[in-house]
Structure 1
Amino acid sequence: MTKPRLLFFFTGLPEYESLFTIACRLKIRGKVAPVCFSPLEVLWREPRLRSLVATSGLEVMFRPNRWLKLFPKRWLRRGDAVVTMVDPTIDSSSSRSRSQAMLELGTPTIFVQHGVIQSKFNLNDDCRDIHYRSRLLLTFEDLIKPEVLSEETRANIRKVGFIKPVLFPPRAPSKPLPDHDRAVLLCHSFRWAGRYGEGDITRFYNLVEQSAAENPRTLFIVRSHRGKSRAPYRAQDQALARVPNVVFSNAHEGPLKGMMMTDVLGLADICISTASTAILDSVYMNRPTAVYENDQPVFRKLPNIDSVESLAAFLSQPGTADIAAVQAHYGNVSENIDTACDVIEATMKSL
């Protein structure tokens, strides 16, 4: 009997982090045949992917990214359904031509949540009654804002828990870091237009600068989403970079150049982040974790940092962060991946 074919497009590191292990597990289980594609360019950005793929037993077809984008229907016809991290009806990313092709071909899709907070999915300020065409939606938890999605869409949701494993052991920085007694990683998502304004950004950078001055033996590592420098906070980055015990985790320059979130967490003793998946990355690496100015109904078991005083209190007693409760809420990653495979296999069988 022919196995149903499930397409995976590992376009970049986010897809590898969230989907690769699911594809591997499905292949081992043997009920679904993963058909995997990835742009060659991603191997240049993260060379460790070569050995990851080579030792996984999973066959991945590498092609230039322009080919995968230019002829989307050619690749889509090689499978019976597609796993995606954005529903094709709302895709505005660089892969939207593939999503449009899915709609035109009527290709069934399986949506996998990849961020604890996602626009047009569970954001406080999202519009309401959004319809997804995906046959199945896999989520980390019960919807925190159910009214965002249509009733028909909600009927296709299956809660599986957090499904993002650590892909690689943390690697060392390319250059020595300033001497320090402990390291605090501070992550932010200020790229998110509409969610954060100029005042939010200014408060964050003032807090880091003042805390660094008060804790000269603490190294403060500042990381934006995916380590990318963007115009709304570039001037603040440049000013804060002059502080001797502050370094930046930047994707393209500096001593932490090209390091993944889990690499940087390997250097950190404590993590503080705006409400985002960075919190879960930290919690699952067992780092004491707090939320900076929590603006979403998540992570209520963790300390909220909204001032220099609250940051000082957390740094003095990091054990107040109940990371065990967060892990219990989102579940065991390996077991969650098996649960995801169960429902994916059942969906593929029903097509």
Structure 2
Amino acid sequence: MSRIQPDFKSVALLFAICVTSAVPEASAQGPEGLTGVYSNKGGTLAIVEGNNETLVHFSGSFPQGESAGTCDCALVVQRKSATNWSLQQAGEQDAWTLRVNPKQFVLESGPSPSCCGAGYPGKDTFARSTARPLGICKVKVSKAGFHASDAANTPRKAFVVSGDAVEAYVDPVEPDFLAARFQGPQKATAGLLKREDLDCAAESAPKAAVKAPVAADKLQPFAGTWVELTRQGKGFVVLKPCSAATRSFTVKPATGEVEVQLGQEATTLKVTSVEPGKGAGAWVLGLTAADGKPEALQWKTADAAKGTVSVNSPDLFSQSHDYVRQEKKSAFPSKQETGCDEYER
């Protein structure tokens, strides 16, 4: 049986807030709450609600000159009403607002949020119809304590024990802590749990509905192998790593798949949608991994004559953006990564 011990400092704080009427009524979040993962073409919004606090995680991408910028923001709700939430990032002064509308969430930031790259437009919307459940993780240590969402991740008194199932947002970047909630007999406790204390196997996570790949003719313009370019000075080179293959990806219209070569390993995803993006030569390819996880690939033709494109996505292409068609890569110089001797010893 789980033992959730109250954090008396938090209880005292909540009591003080209640006295000043800053905490919303229970009806503010609806009888079933808003816990879940929501997505748009460029990112993900995860909401983890508990009786003690609400955590929000936002990750996404946005145009940044010829490339793309990203956001990776772990936020805590400071004040909440039925239609408006005030949020803040731990250890930062950034102020965020989440407007809760009947059909969508509207997330807005202040100027230049520290968890986003330069040029973030300050606003993202997420349709509530895209909701999917959090992942399910099992506690694999004898006792896993909850931690606060402050800069020091201060330990709390509440904990869960071996075998307990918790709902968690399993961030693709694999952080040290996961935003999680445990549903007890009378209340739900939210907070951060150490990733190493949990077993979040893919087979235990809720599966999204399987989508069919798009028709071959829709993928034909993207077909072929695309090789990563590395910026050097004012131009690009094809970099050859010491102990791995050059990153690349191959679009296969016949099977409706994209095979991504990550250097030392590869992964294959289905292309389940192709939609026009913003501007000429821009597209959004909806990718779906084998475990049902969706990922939006932003595609932009950089130079049609040279066969170059700029791509971006929250996970697989978050750090790798510039590619050239394999048959045109000879127009770019090849360069061997330096310091390879250590790999040969």
Q: Provide the TM-score with structure 1 as the length reference.
A: 0.25
Larger Rg: 2
Q: Provide the TM-score with structure 2 as the length reference.
A: 0.25
Q: Between Structure 1 and Structure 2, which shows a larger proportion of helix residues?
A: 1
